[in-house]
């Protein structure tokens, strides 16, 4: 007999308000940290960058914020660090809204919704990309896959791979990008820079113009209650570079943001954010830089006891535009953490 699809179970739980009951029972003394990347519509005409990095459409984001308003006390990064220092308590059912990388759509689509609800948030900036038209490696890869006429290629680290439609092409791309994350940062970029030739794609100079925020837009977000945190300079997986480079990435991103916005930076998010992507030495570098809280992409929510024990491994909830509102509610109560279903 076939097992029921998770979506059917989530829909039933949502209609019966069972997720709300779980939330009331479990989330009072846990910090629910939402991890967004992009707020955009990956199905709109002309979208040719990395769709899996779209966390929600603008409409989905507004719907999710309405659910947060009904069930949670949304806190700021400063509230979290003040609690860690023992200066103030967190409210019951605390939630923190975070964004990684520094995409322009955070400014265009997310900021108006945050202002509507009066919510604070934190954006973790990969500083080398702010105010520039340089693509992140996954966006460069996605552009090449979107514009190639090929249906097969011999990829380094993976061999000959084939695709026949959009879904299989995306699967090939995502699988190959995951392999790239296992090699050194220098090797990763060598393979990425060779990809346009491999797929016979020519990339215009303005292909990625405006994909990330300018520093003026960063400052406008700060003026509207959004905190900026560090996310390295060039977004390497920190355990795939030398200890010296990892330290430089941490300190460099923090110093650049502080110089641009005139506000101390006390929070950090690990690129990629899985357990293999950070270690004790990297956590010590963060402490040396004056970082007080660091965030992973290990499934949350985070218990307050865990955060007290180690504020440099705070769990977050990874969000996708494929998440229905019932699945979003399931993630908020920690079902990915409890049951291990795909994020």
pLDDT in tens, 193-227: 999 999 999 999 999 999 999 999 999 999 999 99
Res 1: pLDDT = 35
3-state secondary structure 97-114: EEEEECEHHHHHHHHHHH
Report yes or no: 201 and 143 within 8 Å, Cβ to Cβ. Answer: yes
Same domain, 38 and 100: yes
Which comes out higher in pLDDT, residue 13 or 295? 295
- Containing structural domain, residue 141: 137-198
Same domain, 124 and 62: yes
The angle formed by the CA atoms of residues 304, 82 and 257, to the nearest 5 degrees, is: 110
Of 331, 281, 334, the C-alpha closest to 306 is: 334
Same domain, 241 and 332: yes
Report yes or no: 124 and 230 within 8 Å, Cβ to Cβ. Answer: yes
Res 58: pLDDT = 98
CATH number of the domain bearing residue 258: 3.20.20.370
**Of 167, 198, 229, the domain-final residue:** 198
Res 2: pLDDT = 43
Of 138, 79, 74, 66, the C-alpha closest to 103 is: 138
Q: What is the bridge-based pairing of β-strands 94-101 and 152-155?
A: unpaired
pLDDT in tens, 139-197: 999 999 999 999 999 998 999 999 999 999 999 999 999 999 999 999 999 999 999 99
Q: What's the mean pLDDT in 6-21?
A: 85
Q: Determine, yes or no, domain membership for 153.
A: yes
Q: Where are the beta strands (DSSP E) in 213-266?
A: 226-230
Tell me the C-alpha distance between 281 and 209, whole Å.
36
Comparing 20-24, 42-46, 112-116, 247-251, which segment has the lowest mean pLDDT? 20-24
**Of 198, 222, 240, the domain-final residue:** 198
Q: Determine, yes or no, domain membership for 309.
A: no
Same domain, 252 and 122: yes
Does residue 13 surpass a pLDDT of 90?
A: no
Q: Determine, yes or no, domain membership for 83.
A: yes
Res 126: pLDDT = 98
Q: Determine, yes or no, domain membership for 75.
A: yes
pLDDT in tens, 239-283: 999 999 999 999 999 999 999 999 999 999 999 999 999 999 999
The angle formed by the CA atoms of residues 271, 272 and 274, to the nearest 5 degrees, is: 120
Same domain, 280 and 243: yes
Does residue 66 surpass a pLDDT of 80?
A: yes
Q: What's the mean pLDDT in 90-97?
A: 97
Same domain, 113 and 225: yes
Of 329, 341, 337, the C-alpha closest to 20 is: 329
**Of 175, 198, 221, the domain-final residue:** 198
Same domain, 58 and 125: yes
Q: Determine, yes or no, domain membership for 229.
A: yes
Q: What is the mean pLDDT of the chain?
A: 94
Does residue 3 surpass a pLDDT of 60?
A: no
Global confidence as pTM: 0.95
Does residue 5 surpass a pLDDT of 80?
A: no
Tell me the C-alpha distance between 215 and 129, whole Å.
10
| Number of domains within the chain | 2
Residue 270 Cα distances to 93, 231, 295, 316, angstroms: 25, 6, 6, 11
Does residue 342 surpass a pLDDT of 60?
A: no
Same domain, 180 and 231: no
Of 302, 313, 224, 228, the C-alpha closest to 270 is: 313
Comparing 20-24, 30-34, 259-263, which segment has the lowest mean pLDDT? 20-24
Res 330: pLDDT = 93
Q: Determine, yes or no, domain membership for 7.
A: no
Tell me the C-alpha distance between 158 and 329, whole Å.
37
Same domain, 219 and 278: yes
Same domain, 119 and 146: no
Q: What's the mean pLDDT in 113-125?
A: 98
Q: Determine, yes or no, domain membership for 58.
A: yes
Cβ contacts of residue 122 below 8 Å, gap of 6+? 76, 77, 96, 97, 98, 99, 226, 227, 228, 229, 267
Same domain, 117 and 142: no
The angle formed by the CA atoms of residues 166, 167 and 172, to the nearest 5 degrees, is: 95
Tell me the C-alpha distance between 157 and 49, whole Å.
22
Write down the residue that tokens 């090797």 correspond to: 187
Write down the residue that tokens 């507004």 correspond to: 62
Does residue 334 surpass a pLDDT of 80?
A: yes
Question: What does the chain come to in residues?
Answer: 343
Q: Determine, yes or no, domain membership for 18.
A: no
The angle formed by the CA atoms of residues 335, 32 and 236, to the nearest 5 degrees, is: 95
Same domain, 233 and 278: yes
Compute how many other C-beta atoms are within 10 angstroms of the C-beta atom of residue 290.
12
Tell me the C-alpha distance between 295 and 303, whole Å.
13
């Amino acid at each position: 007999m076939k097992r029921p699809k998770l979506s059917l179970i989530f829909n039933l739980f949502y209609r019966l308000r069972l997720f709300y009951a779980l939330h009331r029972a479990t989330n009072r003394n846990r910090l629910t940290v939402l991890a967004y990347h992009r707020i955009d519509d990956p199905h709109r005409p002309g979208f040719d960058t990395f769709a899996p990095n779209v966390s929600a459409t603008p409409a989905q984001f507004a719907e999710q914020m309405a659910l947060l308003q009904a069930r949670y006390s949304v806190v700021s990064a400063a509230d979290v660090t003040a609690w860690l220092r023992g200066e103030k308590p967190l409210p019951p059912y605390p939630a923190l809204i975070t964004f990684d990388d520094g995409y322009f759509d955070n400014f265009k689509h997310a900021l108006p919704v945050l202002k509507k609800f009066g919510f604070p948030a934190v954006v973790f900036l990969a500083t080398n990309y702010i105010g520039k038209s340089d693509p992140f490696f996954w966006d460069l890869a996605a552009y090449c896959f979107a514009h190639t006429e090929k249906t097969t290629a011999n990829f380094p680290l993976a061999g000959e791979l084939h695709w026949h439609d959009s879904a299989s092409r995306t699967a090939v791309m995502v699988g190959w990008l995951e392999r790239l994350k296992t090699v050194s940062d220098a090797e990763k970029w060598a393979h990425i820079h060779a990809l346009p030739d491999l797929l016979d794609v020519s990339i215009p100079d303005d292909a990625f113009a405006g994909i990330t925020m300018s520093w003026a837009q960063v400052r406008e977000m700060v003026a509207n209650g959004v905190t900026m945190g560090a996310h390295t300079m060039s977004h390497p997986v920190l355990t795939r570079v030398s200890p010296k480079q990892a330290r430089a990435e941490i300190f460099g991103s923090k110093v650049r943001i502080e110089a641009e916005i005139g506000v101390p930076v006390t929070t950090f998010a690990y690129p990629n954010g899985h357990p293999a992507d950070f270690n004790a030495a990297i956590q010590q570098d963060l402490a040396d830089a004056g970082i007080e809280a660091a965030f992973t992409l290990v499934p949350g929510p985070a218990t307050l006891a865990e955060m007290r024990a180690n504020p440099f491994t705070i769990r977050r909830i990874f969000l996708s535009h494929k998440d229905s509102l019932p699945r979003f509610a399931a993630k908020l109560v920690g079902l990915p953490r409890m049951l291990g279903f795909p994020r």
